[in-house]
Amino acid sequence: MNDLFDKVKKNLIWKSVFRRDYRDNVRDRALAIFGNVFLHLHPVKVRESAVKLRYTWGMGGITFLAFIILTITGVVLMFYYHPSVDQAYSDMKDLEFQVPYGVITRNLHRWGAHFMVIVVMIHMFRVFMTGSYKAPRQFNWGIGVILLVLTFLLSFTGYLLPWDQLGFWAITVGTNMGAATPLLGYQGPFSEYLHITPYNDIRFALLGGATVGGNALLRSYIWHCIAIPLIATVLMVVHFWRVRKDGGISRPQNH
């Protein structure tokens, strides 16, 4: 058995990947963190309370996990989906009846999305209740609020993509609100002074038209799959970076 281990571990390929053996000492526990591109998001040492579930509830991390799950299932779904009025709905039917594991992939994506919205709200509640937005973490709270809004928008733009009655009318109701924007929406107060019509207002910009149609579907798709995930990723990088730079998980200050 040991011979086998030696064969696997003492060759060029294994050593090129793992570099060195792990021994359970201070140096190697630290190396395990900063020698790994994913784990080095963490500091080498953390406070006890960061490890205790009762303090953070793990909600920020779970939100990130949900984002990763949604990215993976979302990429899989993109292989089977055309953002066009003619094909979108039949692609959904194909997912249901033709694509191997199509149903569970879509289910994971949809329930994962609901789940992410729920956990991100609970994360905000936790951060508020522990006063963790206070100095020096004020700026990171603001980033977090924008990430919360982006989570809503990610979910909202995804709603239209199946091109069924539920999504179509939810988006219609939602974007009609845009028409009521003061100054910039054609039904909003004071917009007549800017010569705003249904064909040049903010709703038109959102939908790419005066009604929910092919352009709106394409815009939703691009916002949903590319633009918002990119923006959210950049902000997440800043968010995580600032957690570290602002002193890690918050804790009582009198040290």
Partner 1 sequence: MNPFIEIITQPDNIAIVIMILMVSFFMVWAFQQALENDKLKTAGYAVEGENDKDVDTYKPLVRIELLISLAVMLFLTVWSIGVDAPLEEIANPTLTPNPAKAPWYFLGLQELLVYFDPWLAGVVLPSLIVVGLIAIPYIDINPKGNGYYTFSERKYSILIFSFGFFILWLLLIVIGVFDRGPGWLWYWPWQEWDAHRVVFEPTKDLSNLVGVESRSLAGFIIGAIVVGAYMIGGMVWPYKYWQKKNPELLQQLGMIRYVTIVFLFITMMSIPIKMILRLIFLIKYVWITPWFNV
**From 106, 219, 224, 239, residue interacting with partner 1 (rule: CB under 8 A):** 106
- Minimum CB separation of residue 227 from partner 1 in Å reads 19
Task: Looking at residues 173 to 212 of the shown chain, list those that interact with partner 1 (rule: CB under 8 A).
Answer: 173-174, 176-182, 185, 187-190, 211-212
Under 8 Å between Cβ of 150 and 231? yes
Q: How far is CA 34 from CA 37, 41, 59, 60, in A?
A: 7, 8, 24, 21
- Minimum CB separation of residue 135 from partner 1 in Å reads 7
- Minimum CB separation of residue 162 from partner 1 in Å reads 6
Q: Which is nearer to partner 1, 14 or 128 (CB)?
A: 128
| 61: amino acid identity, one letter | G
- Minimum CB separation of residue 7 from partner 1 in Å reads 27
Judged by CB under 8 A, which stretch of 1-9, 10-18, 103-111, 238-246 contacts partner 1? 103-111
**From 76, 99, 121, 227, residue interacting with partner 1 (rule: CB under 8 A):** 121
CA-atom Rg of the chain in angstroms: 24
Q: How far is CA 150 from CA 26, 29, 79, 229, 230, in A?
A: 40, 36, 24, 9, 11
**From 11, 75, 98, 164, residue interacting with partner 1 (rule: CB under 8 A):** 164
| 104: amino acid identity, one letter | I
Task: Looking at residues 219 to 238 of the shown chain, list those that interact with partner 1 (rule: CB under 8 A).
Answer: none
Under 8 Å between Cβ of 235 and 146? yes
Tokens 């799950």 correspond to what residue? 69
Based on the shown chain and the rule CB under 8 A, indicate whether residue 86 belongs to the binding site for partner 1: no
Using alpha carbons only, what angle is made at residue 222 by residues 221 and 228, rounded to the nearest 5 degrees? 110
Based on the shown chain and the rule CB under 8 A, indicate whether residue 103 belongs to the binding site for partner 1: yes
- Minimum CB separation of residue 236 from partner 1 in Å reads 16
